[in-house]
Amino acid sequence: MTALADRPHIMLTEHFEEVARILARLEQGARLELIDGKIWSKPMPDGDHGLIIEWLTRICMQSRPELWLYPDQGIKVQSYRRGRARPDGTLAPSGVIGGQGEWVDPEPLLMVVEVTSHDSDTDRRDRVEKPRAYAETGIPLYLLIDRETCEVTLFSEPDGTRYEDVHTVPFGKSLQLPDPVNITLETEPLKNWVS
Encode the chain (195 residues) as per-residue pLDDT tens digits. Answer: 444 444 555 667 767 677 666 655 545 555 778 777 777 777 677 889 999 999 999 999 999 999 999 998 999 997 766 789 999 999 999 999 999 988 999 999 999 999 998 776 766 778 888 999 999 999 999 999 999 999 999 999 999 999 999 999 999 999 999 999 999 999 999 999 986
Residue ranges of E strands in 94-140:
103-104, 111-115
C-alpha dist (Å) from residue 28 to 19, 20, 40, 74, 119: 13, 11, 16, 16, 19
Beta bridge mates, 176: 184
CA angle 112, 140, 119 (to 5 degrees): 30
Q: Under a CB-based contact definition with an 8 Å cutoff, are residues 136 and 150 in contact?
A: no
Q: Could you state, in order of their start, the residue ranges of all structural domains in the chain? A: 45-193
User: What's the burial of 46, exposed, middle or buried (CB within 10 Å: 0-12/13-18/19+)?
Assistant: middle
Kindly report the CATH class assigned to 45-193: alpha beta
Q: Under a CB-based contact definition with an 8 Å cutoff, are residues 117 and 45 in contact?
A: yes
Q: List, in order, residues 6 or more apart from 19 with CB less than 8 Å away.
A: 11, 32, 39
From CA 46, how far away is CA 119, in angstroms rounded?
12
